[in-house]
Structure 1
Amino acid sequence: MKFVRMPVPGVSLGCDYNPEQWSPDVWREDVALMRQAGVDLVAVNIFGWSNLEPSPGEYRFDDLDEVVELLHANGIKLNLGTGTSSPPPWLTSRYPEVLPVAEDGTTRFPGGRQAWCPSSPVFRDRALDLVSRVARRYGRHPALVLWHVSNELGCHNALCYCETSAEAFRNWLRGRYRKIETLNAAWGTSFWSQRYGDWSEIQPPRLALSLRNPAQIVDFHRFSSDELLGYYRAEASILRKHSQTPVTTNFMVTAHIRNLDYWSWAPEMDVIANDHYLDHRLGDPVAELSFAADLTRGLAGGRPWMLMEQAAGAVNWQPHNLTKAPGEMIRNSLTHVARGADSICFFQWRASAQGAEKFHSAMLPHAGTDTVAWREVLRLSETLDRIGEVAGTEVEADAALLFSWDSWWSAEGEARPSQAVTYLDQVHAAHRALRGLGVTTDVIAPGTDLSRYRLVVVPCLYMVSDEHARAIADYVAAGGHVVVTFFSGIVDERDRIRLGGYPGAFRDLLGVVAEEFAPLQPEMSVTLTNGATATLWTERLRVTTATVEASYRDGLLPGVPAITRNQYGDGVAWYVATKTDMSELFREATGRRGETGNVEIVRRSGGGRSYLFVINHGTDPVEHPTTGYDLVAGQAISGSLRVEGGGVAVIREEAR
């Protein structure tokens, strides 16, 4: 990563602003209210293309000039979008070939956003021309502190199946495999008479009458992630040519977006930025927020990052768009700060009066300033100012969880032992159990150095290379502790089954061999000899060098091991061959005896400073031993901190 300093000092407050939706009189009112709310950073020109270039080659910058100068005159810094996230109607009308094609081979038309193919040379030429003009005009403006490339790249158009994408896919495959024979071996094309004789015969994995080649699908995901990354690089290159200002784009580390491998994207960012919205379709949306923040910090290499977007209240795109209770905005925001964010921004500033997002919440709601929502914004702003000295410190974590987009894509293939088994289910369950014990966890990529961690968790690492499997084994041999969950180690990076018994790459490390998977129906459960209940998955497992920690008491496999423990070198490796609560196992592995439940307890430190975050998402008060000064309440704490239900505290600790 080239740049790690945040664009605004302290813990900044920011927002996404769409002045093109409003009149100049409203702009002036908005900027005055932004000052009142303590807004430090504003993102503009995110969807500005049709305003800047209303017809081909006709450019109008007057409105954007006025907005930029208005923000600058009021001391507000600029997060300037390139305006390319959605093409104007004239572009798709004149050049319909830029439109994306879905998996079923049908074209997706304008009327929404991101109606463009990532491989389209026509789109790229027109978009980069706009980027060049924006960069030359504003690249040295004193208010500019950050460039914002496009917006949520790949949110809707990551996978395009048109003929242009097909040719780009073939070129990508040539670069990866060099020879068609190598590709045939990698994809296992001897199966179902799929062997290719020439690159021109290869198509994207469009919908077929039967199951498709899983290795081809995984490679198409890889290609699509790389294709959009190449587009990001093209925009960033132009911006850097005309400006010294750092460049980024907003990631979407969240439960429902999976198409981009951000481990490969992160090194290209000058600042890591993420968009995150509470997803009430999940069983525990707050726990998922904590996980997403930890993963974003992992992408930032442990350094501070930006929350580029979150909602002040309800979103507009879930089946049931729930608003936030009083105090919830602060708890959500400080959870991100506790886990590494040094900038808290919102979509959006003023709630839209028209368009698809008119029911999406905003810092300034439709009802105006005499509202609970506005008062919550003012309260958050004051809180961020009070804790500003936290900025620049880093999160302390002694556990790690390995996360892999390759495994996410491949483990959820069309043909798998159980459609009820999903990658994120295991990942979230492991992280949630650690969080419930008060264990702060780094979410990191396979292959990362593990030596500093007391515990490493490997949930559903279905696809793993020999190199990455060996790194995990070496960590344990040197004295580390690892927990591996089911459906891990099954295939290599080409989606080829590791023969000899499951869990494949981890058999020797774990001291077990599974002969057969035995998934359960979603409504079924079995009991374990340790008294726990297990669901979803079992397997016909036998130990080789491991000891049995728990077996199945009933079900199809009574007496068969379900949880095992293996001494490997100087360390210990556990295997969890079913879906069950892992809290007790994590207590043993970490030495943590208590539970924190729905309370965040996270520490940031650096430069001789240490800050303890205690965020109580529950309704009952909690107490935690500490001595120092509560930055939120503005009072000294001696010996014990009490945080009421729904409350937050950030303690500048005395020397530990």
Structure 2
Amino acid sequence: MQELSGAICSPKVAVIYDTENRWALEDAAGPRNQGLFYKETVEKSYRAFRRLGLDVDVIDETQGLSDYQIVAAPVVYLQREGWVEKVRQFVAGGGTFLATYWSGIVDETDLCFLGGTPHGLLDVMGLRSMEIDGLYDGEWNEGVPVPQNRLHLTRTYRCSNLCELVKPSTAEVLMTYGKDFYAGMPALTENQYGAGKAYQICAGFEQGLYDELCGKLAEEAGVTSVVKEIPDGVEVTTREKNGIRYVFVQNFNRNAVEIKLPVEQYPVWNGQYDGTIGSWETVVLKENSPNFREK
């Protein structure tokens, strides 16, 4: 493994997980007495991008966004100083930003913002939060794709826990709620801001929505994996050194899995591969062109 010494990951996707934000959410007295599920919501975005075989950085609100093409920021209830400016610059510069319900509510000292939420990002998101419905355990609503929506979403997905009601200004509605007193109101939106796009997931949707949506966003942003079809339980990670990419394909299943690897461009450098990867085994591929450069 000496050849890999000094190799680095260069993710184009980041997911925000902020401890100060988590503490503030845990201490909040609503909109549900229990069960805001911050960590679980963050994991949905992370899991969706990793299932695509993409490298993902997990960062907090204090870190820069300029190195990424896609940033997912679930439930940023507490906005740290400088966060709004970074998001505005990121989206205006061409980035893809994915936010959720219950964002931009309080500042660093846990005091509520005045003037509308998500604070400082009303024009970036192209909407304003008007109300939020805290569902009882076991209750659910659903998100229904708008006919001929731009992302070609076709499936209906369930949502639970929290359903935010928003009023779009410039945002395009991609999905609407399917029932209750807010049936027909936006459940998923997209807004063009500068050279980039900002998306708002308005409710606590199931993993399937994240999987489909994150796949669409990654494809549109041109952020793709070397391995195109990845079975459940298999992870793909890349590292780079001297302009050459190394691809780690790891099988965490108890059984061997069939997987198609691009061995013509990325020959097997370490491990055994005959069309399958054994249980708990790893195959490492190495870019065969020394002229490779990340775009």
Map 1:102-501; keep pairs closer than 5 Å: 387-418=1-32, 419-501=34-116
User: Which of 261, 272, 282 is the matching residue for 1:624?
Assistant: 261
Q: Is 1:550–2:187 an aligned residue pair?
A: no
- What does the per-residue CA deviation read over 1:238-266, in whole Å, with 9 as the maximum and x for residues that have no partner? xxxxxxxxxxxxxxxxxxxxxxxxxxxxx
Aligned-partner residue type, residue 586 of structure 1? C
Structure with greater helix share of residues: 1
Deviates more, 1:608-617 or 1:467-476: 608-617
- What does the per-residue CA deviation read over 1:490-538, in whole Å, with 9 as the maximum and x for residues that have no partner? 1111111112333223322101111111021221111211211112110
Aligned-partner residue type, residue 613 of structure 1? F
Q: Is the CA contact 1:565–1:572 (under 8 Å) kept in the aligned structure 2?
A: yes
Which whole-Å CA distance do the structure 2 matches of 1:447 and 1:589 have between them? 24
Q: Is the CA contact 2:62–2:80 (under 8 Å) kept in the aligned structure 1?
A: no
Structure with greater strand share of residues: 2
Q: Is the CA contact 2:258–2:275 (under 8 Å) kept in the aligned structure 1?
A: no
Map 1:534-545; keep pairs closer than 5 Å: 534-545=159-170
TM-score by length of 2: 0.83
Which structure has the larger Rg over C-alpha atoms? 1
Which whole-Å CA distance do the structure 2 matches of 1:480 and 1:514 have between them? 23
Partner of 1:587: 215
User: Which of 118, 130, 138 is the matching residue for 1:503?
Assistant: 118
Which whole-Å CA distance do the structure 1 matches of 2:159 and 2:94 have between them? 30
Which whole-Å CA distance do the structure 2 matches of 1:595 and 1:520 have between them? 36
Question: 1:601 Cα shift?
Answer: 0.8
Aligned-partner residue type, residue 601 of structure 1? V
Partner of 2:149: none
Q: Is 1:602–2:237 an aligned residue pair?
A: yes
Q: Is 1:650–2:275 an aligned residue pair?
A: no
SS at match of 1:409: helix
CA spacing shift, 1:589–1:527, aligned 2, 3 Å: same
Which whole-Å CA distance do the structure 1 matches of 2:31 and 2:113 have between them? 16
Q: Is the CA contact 1:412–1:422 (under 8 Å) kept in the aligned structure 2?
A: no
Which whole-Å CA distance do the structure 2 matches of 1:617 and 1:505 have between them? 42
Question: 1:451 Cα shift?
Answer: 2.1
Which fold has the larger relative contact order, with Cα–Cα distance below 8 Å and residues 6 or more apart in sequence?
Answer: 2
Which whole-Å CA distance do the structure 2 matches of 1:608 and 1:475 have between them? 26
- The root-mean-square deviation of aligned C-alpha atoms, in Å, is 2.1
SS at match of 1:536: strand
Map 1:523-538; keep pairs closer than 5 Å: 523-530=138-145, 531-538=156-163
Aligned-partner residue type, residue 588 of structure 1? K
Aligned-partner residue type, residue 622 of structure 1? I
Aligned-partner residue type, residue 10 of structure 2? E
Which whole-Å CA distance do the structure 2 matches of 1:403 and 1:470 have between them? 18
Which whole-Å CA distance do the structure 2 matches of 1:464 and 1:473 have between them? 13
Which whole-Å CA distance do the structure 1 matches of 2:275 and 2:285 have between them? 9
- What does the per-residue CA deviation read over 1:384-425, in whole Å, with 9 as the maximum and x for residues that have no partner? xxx343232111311111221110110111512121112211
Which whole-Å CA distance do the structure 2 matches of 1:540 and 1:414 have between them? 20
SS at match of 1:395: coil
Q: Is the CA contact 2:73–2:97 (under 8 Å) kept in the aligned structure 1?
A: yes
CA spacing shift, 1:461–1:412, aligned 2, 3 Å: same
SS at match of 1:470: helix
Q: What are structure 2's unaligned runs of at least 5 residues?
A: 146-155
SS at match of 1:538: strand
Aligned-partner residue type, residue 585 of structure 1? L
Q: Is 1:614–2:224 an aligned residue pair?
A: no
Deviates more, 1:598-607 or 1:500-509: 500-509
Q: Is the CA contact 1:490–1:505 (under 8 Å) kept in the aligned structure 2?
A: no
User: Which of 564, 567, 572 is the matching residue for 2:189?
Assistant: 564
Which whole-Å CA distance do the structure 2 matches of 1:481 and 1:602 have between them? 22
Which whole-Å CA distance do the structure 1 matches of 2:2 and 2:140 have between them? 49
Q: Is the CA contact 1:549–1:563 (under 8 Å) kept in the aligned structure 2?
A: yes
Aligned-partner residue type, residue 612 of structure 1? V
Aligned-partner residue type, residue 648 of structure 1? T
Which whole-Å CA distance do the structure 2 matches of 1:436 and 1:400 have between them? 14
Number of residue pairs aligned between Structure 1 and Structure 2: 265
- What does the per-residue CA deviation read over 1:587-630, in whole Å, with 9 as the maximum and x for residues that have no partner? 22110595523211111111344211001223332222133233
TM-score by length of 1: 0.39
Aligned-partner residue type, residue 654 of structure 1? N
CA spacing shift, 1:595–1:498, aligned 2, 3 Å: farther
Percent identity reads: 28
Which whole-Å CA distance do the structure 2 matches of 1:417 and 1:407 have between them? 16
Which whole-Å CA distance do the structure 2 matches of 1:550 and 1:645 have between them? 40
Q: Is the CA contact 1:498–1:505 (under 8 Å) kept in the aligned structure 2?
A: no
**Which contiguous aligned blocks of 4+ residues in structure 1 show a shift greater than 6 angstroms?**
none
